[in-house]
Structure formats: C-alpha cells, structure tokens
Amino acid sequence: MDRIRSEDRGAASDDSQEPEERRTATRYRPTEDIPVLFSADNAEIPCAGRIVNLSEGGLRIIAPPTTRAHLYWSDPVAIQASYSKENRRDGLEGMSFRGFVVKQVSNATEYTLHVRLEHQTTGRLLIERYVRRFTPSSVPRAERD
C-alpha cells in the first residue's frame, strides 16, 4: 500500500505546523500501470492515459501533452480501465465508470486530469484491484523469515 504523503505532493511549509489536508479520503499510488481511455459524453474518439493515483472519491490521470480531451470543469467524463493479465478475474478485462472533471492541467510534458468519481464504490474497487496490501498473510513465507 503506497500512501501519498503531504511532502510527496510538494507541500512545503515554513512553519513547524503540518499543512491542512483538504482531502477526506486517503490517496494511493497503483502498484502497476492502469491504462485508461477517457472522453466526454459526445466525443467520437477517446483519449488514452493512465491512472497515477486514486482514492475512494477520485483519481488523477496522466496523458501525453498532445491530448485534446475537450473537457471542461464539472463535465461528465466516461472512463474505461483495462486490467492487466495478472488482475483479470472471472474473465473480466476491464471496468467502465463515470466521473466529473475537477481540474485539468496541460504543459510541455503531460496532460493531467483530476476526476471526482460518480460513486465511491468505484474507487474502492479500483483500490482493491490495483493497490497491493503487504500484510503478514499476503507476504510469502520465505520473505517473512
């Protein structure tokens, strides 16, 4: 489980106090790439990217800097995540879900899309599938000793 701490986000403070966390849900980094297609409802061609962090309430997608998603603040966005071969269970190859645009940033190196998920259960499902929890029961015995 790879939690993202305040200092990982570049939140530096001159005082000794911790910066106030504005998010209510813990954010996680996926333990592997999560390729996604995302688009506005009326788009003919979806954009491709990957999820770089997620929580029960939202996620952040990184795409190439040439991405033209034609999305605006609070627009609904359709997302399709593709499961890797290791994560495919019961013949499922992916997952479709919806969210709303919170923020988007484009610069010379990447296009970033912040999405608030329509349902928190979607975030929980993604976390369960893509964030490995290293507990004594899940670590191979040889590695524990």
pLDDT tens, position by position, 40-53: 977 888 999 999 99
For 51-89, give one letter per residue: b (16+ CB within 10 A) or e: bbbbbbbbbbbbbeeebebebeeeeebebebbbeeeeee
In a domain, 77, yes or no: yes
Mean pLDDT in the chain?
Answer: 76
| pLDDT digits (tens), the chain, 145 positions | 455 544 444 444 444 555 555 556 788 888 777 899 999 977 888 999 999 998 888 999 999 999 988 898 899 999 998 876 665 665 667 788 999 999 999 999 999 999 999 888 888 888 887 776 433 333 344 443 3
* Count: domains in the chain: 1
Q: What is the CATH number of the domain that holds 103?
A: 2.40.10.220
Note down the domain range covering 70.
34-131
Global pTM value:
0.70
